[in-house]
Chains A and B, each alone.
Chain A
Amino acid sequence: DIQMTQSPSSLSASVGDRVTITCRASQGISNYLAWYQQKPGKVPKLLIFAASTLQSGVPSRFSGSGSGTDFTLTISSLQPEDVATYYCQKYNTAPWTFGQGTKVEMK
């Protein structure tokens, strides 16, 4: 099975900082990658699908890129409401595996 590895596992940044989270697949998955945001105590929410397509209603400060094995989620200007754990998920073939998560905290 394809493994999904996120880095870093956690990070601390200031308001307005540019934040980048990386997700690496152990084999190529084309662009079959989604990103989710889970705020503390809340349900995961879809941010991005097809590696770079923003889900409706998601702020434009979020962006995704990559193809094959290496992907990134970027928050262009971190806001207090972005404190959350972020997960990538591959969906080219079963099993639809999630990364282990990246916790984003405010400095």
Chain B
Amino acid sequence: ELQLVESGGGLVQPGGSLRLSCAASGFTFSNYAVSWVRQAPGKGVEWVSTIGGGGISTYYADSVKGRFTISRDNSKNTLYLQMNSLTAEDTAVYYCAKCPRGYNWYFDYWGQGTLVTVSS
């Protein structure tokens, strides 16, 4: 069974940093692009970042460019999101999501999410 399990969320002060992880299982992780998608409390869904299967190609939303870094370790089947210079606007549930094969940048499987709260 395909699974995506996020971890690393929590309470962080404005200006602080946090690293999220997403452990993948049930599929050949290195063959697929994976992404982070977030949802602020009571708001809609917002794409954050995507990384290709080989880890070379990366894409970022303008709202996080220069502050967040996406990476992956295919030997550990794990996706990461390093978040720096956090602000209250980054408060959200962060979902790890898998893209299907090929250049198809939609999300066919989602994790349960991890909550990041930025507050003093």
Interface residues of A (CB under 8 A from B): 1, 34, 36, 38, 43-46, 49, 55, 85, 87, 89, 91, 94-101
Contact = CB atoms under 8 A, between A and B. Distances in A.
Interface of B: 35, 37, 44-47, 50, 59, 61-62, 95, 100, 104-113
Contact of A49 (B45, B59, B61, B104): B104
Contacts of B50: 94, 96
Main secondary structure of the interface of A (DSSP, over half): loop
Nearest to A99: B44
B46 A98 contact: yes
Contact of B61 (A36, A95, A100): A95
Nearest to B61: A95
A45 B45 contact: no
Nearest to B44: A101
A46 B113 contact: no
21 contacts: A38-B45, A43-B110, A43-B111, A43-B113, A44-B95, A44-B107, A44-B110, A46-B106, A46-B107, A46-B109, A49-B106, A55-B108, A89-B107, A91-B105, A91-B106, A95-B61, A96-B35, A97-B47, A98-B45, A100-B44, A101-B44
The 8 residue pairs across chains A and B that have the minimum distance between CB atoms: A34-B106, A91-B105, A94-B59, A101-B44, A96-B47, A43-B110, A91-B106, A98-B45
Contacts of A89: 45, 47, 106-107
Contacts of A99: 44
